[in-house]
């Protein structure tokens, strides 16, 4: 697939038309890579699109701010919607098809089936945001039915979401292959997120303590420390010192089940969710240590 610059991506609103286009492409022998997003694209999203473009003949990017994955007190109304900017950013890649369905087409009257996500959805984000992953699982399954891609790409930034989707796809025998891509960070270390634009300069400075806490924890693990509770306390102290008071979780967990660990094993995922001002941020880091002989 060529990267001829500044070709306006094709924009498709109709779910029916979207599926027909994907099936026609596949029938003609092309492979399709799919990147589901809520728009407000940043370099994190674009790294997924770049990978889809490199590995498949056509990249499809969906842009849909999915109402059902927001809780009643969350930021659905103010979530950034920047379709013209998104289209411009996507013009780096060619061919890219942008699927931007209307909420009324995704959730017509009478729509009442819900995918109850796998058990890995229960802790952490599932505890803080009880209906979130049912909304995510349902919309992702719908999107994978409308864009029956060969491969779909998700970001590791939403680590638990990636676990939920990977397990759901196995559990329901969805044919699409799931690939999870690394977190992209700004130069100062902050994990890219559409919600970063909510942060004031002071809040952004405070938010840097999140990725710093992950680094400190990683260093302790690499130095041989296995006391997960103490490492977790260290992460909280790091964020508290930067003025962050509302920490939903800061833990070391099993990378498959997401169960909180008291003693670190050779592969752990370090997971943080914290509120900086009004903005809830998440970040994570997988640490794989070579067992000492």
What CA–CA distance (Å, rounded) separates 15 from 126? 29
What CA–CA distance (Å, rounded) separates 251 from 270? 6
115 vs 221 by CB, closer to a second copy? 115
CB of 235 to a second copy, least distance (A): 29
CB of 26 to a second copy, least distance (A): 9
Q: Is 132 a catalytic residue?
A: no
What CA–CA distance (Å, rounded) separates 281 from 187? 17
CB of 183 to a second copy, least distance (A): 26
Strand pairing of 246-253 and 267-276? antiparallel
Rounded to 5 degrees, what angle do the CA atoms 94, 97, 98 make? 125
Task: Tell whether residue 26 is among the known ligand binding residues.
Answer: no
What CA–CA distance (Å, rounded) separates 206 from 208? 5
Cβ(194)–Cβ(83) under 8 Å? no
148 vs 189 by CB, closer to a second copy? 148
Interacting residues with a second copy (CB under 8 A): 15, 19, 27, 110-120, 134, 137-138, 141-142, 145-146, 148, 167-168, 170-175
96 vs 115 by CB, closer to a second copy? 115
CB of 101 to a second copy, least distance (A): 10
Instruction: List the one residue out of 193, 165, 187, 189 whose CA is nearest residue 177.
Output: 165
Task: Tell whether residue 38 is among the known ligand binding residues.
Answer: yes
Task: Tell whether residue 39 is among the known ligand binding residues.
Answer: yes
Rounded to 5 degrees, what angle do the CA atoms 56, 96, 283 make? 80
Options 21, 45, 51, 280, the catalytic residue? 45
Annotated binding site for ATP: 38-45, 155-158, 184, 192-195
Annotated binding site: 38-45, 69, 155-158, 161, 184, 192-195
Active site residue ranges = 45
């Amino acid at each position: 697939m060529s990267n001829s610059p500044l070709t306006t991506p094709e924009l498709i609103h109709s779910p029916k038309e979207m599926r027909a286009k994907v099936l026609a492409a596949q029938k003609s022998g092309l492979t399709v890579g799919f990147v589901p997003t809520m728009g407000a694209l940043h370099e994190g999203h674009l790294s997924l699109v770049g990978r889809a473009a490199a590995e498949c003949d056509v990249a499809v990017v969906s842009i849909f701010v999915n109402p059902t994955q927001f809780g009643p007190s969350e930021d659905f109304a103010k979530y950034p919607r920047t379709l013209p900017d998104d289209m411009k950013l996507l013009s780096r890649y060619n061919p890219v098809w942008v699927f931007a369905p209307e909420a009324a087409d995704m959730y017509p009257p009478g729509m009442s089936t819900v995918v109850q996500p796998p058990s890995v959805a229960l802790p952490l984000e599932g505890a803080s945001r009880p209906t979130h992953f049912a909304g995510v699982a349902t919309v992702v399954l719908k999107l994978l039915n409308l864009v029956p891609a060969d491969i779909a790409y998700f970001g590791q930034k939403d680590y638990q979401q990636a676990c939920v989707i990977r397990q759901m796809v196995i559990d329901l025998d969805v044919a699409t292959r799931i690939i999870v891509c690394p977190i992209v960070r700004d130069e100062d270390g902050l994990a890219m997120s559409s919600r970063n634009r909510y942060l004031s300069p002071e809040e952004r400075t405070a938010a840097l303590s999140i990725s710093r806490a992950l680094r400190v924890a990683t260093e302790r693990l690499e130095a041989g420390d296995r006391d997960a509770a103490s490492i977790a306390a260290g992460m909280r102290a790091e964020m508290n010192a930067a003025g962050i008071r509302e920490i939903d979780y800061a833990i070391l967990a099993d990378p498959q089940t997401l169960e909180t660990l008291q003693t670190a094993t050779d592969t752990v995922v370090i997971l943080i969710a914290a509120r900086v001002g009004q903005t809830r941020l998440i970040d994570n880091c997988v640490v794989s240590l070579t067992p000492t002989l």
